[in-house]
Amino acid sequence: MSALHIKKGSTKHSAYNLRPTFSDVQETHTLAVLVDNEAGVLARVIGLFSGRGYNIDSLTVAEVDHEGHRSRITVVTTGTPQVIEQIKAQLGRIVPVHEVHDLTVEGRSVERELALIKIEGQGEKRVEALRLADIFRAHVVDSTLESFVFQITGTPDKVDAFADLMRPLGLVEVARTGVAALSRGI
């Protein structure tokens, strides 16, 4: 159609993201956001997601550089490729945000979550819970005659799987940290 004989939507100068941006496919991305640890910074990030109707699947935040007062926010979010691009651009606009990394597209990364899971029960169920915990490399961090608290670390899927198995064995409470993630290699 074009006089230039260039296919519409051509991205020949683009170094990455060669997929069509405007599709309906939902993708889950893990973003690492490095921010100044100042009052209100988390509210700015969360407010951006709620104000613009983006999803937060998981969010963790802690100061990672105590001298430079930098915090690292790890957000797992779901959206179309266009929405994911918007989220990154909008995060980049926030004044105390220094870096935004999309760990899902910037090469391989490692993602881990920690969960504390409380089981109540006696007898065979209690033994079975211990046996499964061993298989999942979960540790007992608290014990009474009627209960355990397991600590498990792993991908969100692994934590889900463990919690699902514990449910019929007397699971009463779960606390999860949300995902922390880093890129692999250097």
Partner 1 sequence: MTSQMTGAKMVVQALRDQGVDTVFGYPGGAVLPIYDEVFQQNEIRHILVRHEQGAVHAAEGYARSTGKPGVVLVTSGPGATNAVTGLTDALMDSIPIVVLTGQVPTFMIGSDAFQEADTVGITRPCTKHNWLVKDTNKLSGTIHEAFHVATSGRPGPVLVDIPKDVQFANGSYTPKAKAATTRYQPQVKGDPDTILELVEAIETAQRPVFYTGGGVINSGPAASQLLRELVDATGIPITSTLMGLGAYPASSDKWLGMLGMHGLYEANLAMHGCDLMINVGARFDDRITGRLDAFSPTSRKAHIDIDPSSINKVVRVDMPIIGDIGHVLEDVLRMWKARGRKVNREALHHWWSQIEDWRAVNCLAYKPSAGTIRPQHALARLEALTKDHDRYITTEVGQHQMWAAQYLGFEDPGRWMTSGGLGTMGYGVPASVGVQIAHPDALVINVAGEASWLMNMQEMSTAVQYRAPVKQFILNNERLGMVRQWQELLHGERYSHSWSEALPDFVKLAEAFGCKGILCKDPADLDDAIMEMLDYDGPVIFDCLVEKHENCFPMIPSGEPHNKMLLGEVSTKDAIGASGAVMV
Q: Which residues sit at the interface with partner 1, rule CB under 8 A? A: 1-4, 6, 8-11, 13, 20-22, 36, 39-40, 43-44, 47, 51, 82, 85-86, 89-90, 92-96, 98
Directed axis angle between helix 124-135 and helix 156-166, to 10°? 170
In sequence order, the 6+-apart residues with CB closer than 8 A to the CB of 165 are 132
Residue 4: CB minimum distance to partner 1, A? 6
Report whether 91 contacts 48 (CB < 8 A): yes
Whose Cβ is closer to partner 1: residue 11's or residue 28's?
11
The residue count of the chain comes to: 186
- Terminal Cα-to-Cα distance of the chain (whole angstroms): 45
Residue 51: CB minimum distance to partner 1, A? 5
